[in-house]
Amino acid sequence: MKCTEILRLNKLNKSFGKKRIIKDFSLQLDESKIMGLVGPNGAGKTTIMKMLVGLIKPAGGDINICGYNIKDDYAKAIRNVGAIIEVPQFYKYMTAYQNLMQYARMYNLPKSRVFEVLKIVGLDHRMNDKVRKYSLGMNQRLGIAQAILHEPKLLILDEPTNGLDTAAVIELRAYLKKIVQHEHCSVLISSHILSEMEKLCDEIAIIQNGELIGVKNTSGAIEDSMTDAIELMINFKVKSIDNIDWILSKNPYSRNYKIQQNFIIFKSTIDSIPKINEYLVKNNIPVYEIKTEVSSLESIFMNVTGGNGNEKIG
C-alpha cells in the first residue's frame, strides 16, 4: 500500500488517574521526513511514543499509521512501524548477525535482508562480534537495524542519543539520514539535545504539559501557534536613514531596533510587521524590502516553554 501521509495523530488524550498527561495532541508526519519531538522532562514525549506502538492505550483521539487506525486495524498499522522505546535489548552472548536472524525468522525474511540492514548502520564488518563487546553507540545502531529489518514506513526512536558521546551522536545522525534515503521511511525521534535535533530533523514539534505548542520547519518556516510567541529579527530596507532615530522614538510597535547601513532591524513578533511598515511609510520612509530571520531552535524552545523543565540544551 502506497501512503504519503505516514502518521496522523488527531486529538490524542491520555490520563493517569486524575492527571491529564496528553491533551488534544494532533500531529502529521509525511513520507521520508524526520520529525523531532522536543519538550521538557515530563512533557509527554515517551507517553505519546508508547501509545503509537500500543504499549499504552489512548483515552481518546485517533492514531493513523499509513491510513490504518490503530484501534480498528492494529496489526496492519503496526506492521508499518519499527521502534526503539528506551534501550534496545539483545542476547549478549550472541553475535549481531545471530540476534538479527532471530527477528528475521519471525518475519520470514531472508539472510540477505540481515546483511543489508547491518551494512546500512555500518555494522557489517562487526556482525560476527558478540554483542557484549559492542559500545553503547554500536548497540543503538544494532537496535535501529532490528527496527528497520521488516522495512517499516515509520521508525520511532525515543531518546536514542542518550549516553552517547559526540562522535557516536554524529554517526547516528548520518545513519538515520541514510536510512530515510535508502529505506524511504519516516522517522519520529525524541531527544533533549536540541542542537542535534536541528541538524537532523526536517521539522521540530514542541510539546509542553502534554500539549502541542507548535511545529517549526528547520529550513526556517514557522507554523502553528509559535508564530505569535516568537520574537524575530525583522529587516526593513529603506532608502535613507536620515532622522531615523527621532522618527522611531515615537514608534509604538517596536522600540527594540538597530541600524545597519540601509536596514532597520527590529526585534519583534511577526504580527508587528504590517504595523511597523505602515508607520514607516506614513513618516515618509519608503520600505523597499522586508526580511525576517528566524530564531534558533534553542531560542524558540526557551521562548515557547518559558524555559521550564530540566531539558538539556546543547
From 272, 309, 305, select the one nearest 290 (Cα to Cα): 272
d(CA 121, CA 171) in angstroms, rounded, equals 9
pLDDT at 69: 96
Residues 19 and 151 in one domain: yes
Whether residue 245 lies inside any domain: the answer is yes
Looking at the fold, whether 166 and 281 belong to one and the same domain comes out as no
109 in the same domain as 160: yes
Residue 306 forms part of a structural domain? no
Task: Kindly state whether residues 191 and 91 are assigned to the same domain.
Answer: yes
Residue 107 shares a structural domain with residue 239: no
The verdict on 98 and 166 lying in the same domain is: yes
**CATH number of the domain that 12 lies in?**
3.40.50.300
CA distance 146 to 102: 10
Name the residue among 189, 273, 180, 164 with its Cα closest to residue 228: 273
Residue showing cell 490520563: 15
* Cell numbers found for residue 5: 501521509
* Number of compact structural domains in the chain: 2
pLDDT (tens digit per residue) in 16-68? 999 999 999 999 999 999 999 988 788 899 999 999 999 999 999 999 999 99
Among 25, 59, 52, which residue's Cα sits nearest to residue 39?
A: 25
What cell numbers appear for 6 in the block?
505516514
Same domain, 187 and 45: yes
> Using 50, 70 and 90 to split pLDDT, how confident is the model at 224?
very low
Question: 261 in a domain, yes or no?
Answer: yes
- Is residue 101 predicted with pLDDT exceeding 80? yes
| Model confidence pLDDT, tens digit, residues 225-246 | 455 555 677 888 988 777 788 8
For residue 266, the model assigns a pLDDT of 84
Q: Check: CB of residue 45 under 8 Å from CB of residue 189.
A: no
Do 116 and 180 lie in one domain? The reply is yes
Assigned domain for 307 exists = no
Range of the domain at 272: 232-298
Task: Looking at the structure, tell me whether residues 195 and 281 fall in a common domain.
Answer: no
Instruction: Locate all alpha helices (DSSP H) within the chain, ordered by sequence.
Output: 45-52, 74-78, 96-107, 111-120, 136-147, 166-183, 194-200, 226-229, 244-248, 273-282, 297-305
CA distance 155 to 285: 52
Q: What is the pLDDT of residue 311?
A: 39
| Assigned domain for 311 exists | no
Q: Which of 83-87, 179-183, 229-233, 284-288 has the lowest mean pLDDT?
A: 229-233
By residue count, the chain amounts to 314
Residue 39 lies in a domain: yes
Q: How far is CA 175 from CA 41, 120, 141, 209, in A?
A: 26, 7, 8, 31
- 92 and 150 fall within a common domain: yes
* Same domain for 79 and 35: yes
Distance CA 158, CA 85 (A): 5
User: What average pLDDT is seen over the chain?
Assistant: 86
Q: Would you say residue 278 lies in a domain?
A: yes
Among candidate residues 217, 245, 268, the one where a domain is terminated: 217
Write out the three cell numbers for 45.
514525549
Residue with cell 553503547: 136
How confident is the model at residue 1, as a pLDDT?
Answer: 53
- pTM equals 0.75
Domain assignment of residue 308, yes or no: no
What is the rounded CA–CA span in Å between residue 148 and residue 152? 6
Tell me, yes or no, whether 127 and 238 share the same domain. no
* Grid coordinates belonging to 136: 553503547
Q: What is the mean pLDDT of residues 119-123?
A: 96
CATH of the domain at 236: 3.30.70
Q: Which of 161, 193, 217 is the last residue of a domain?
A: 217
Q: Cα–Cα distance between 289 and 266 in angstroms, integer?
A: 14
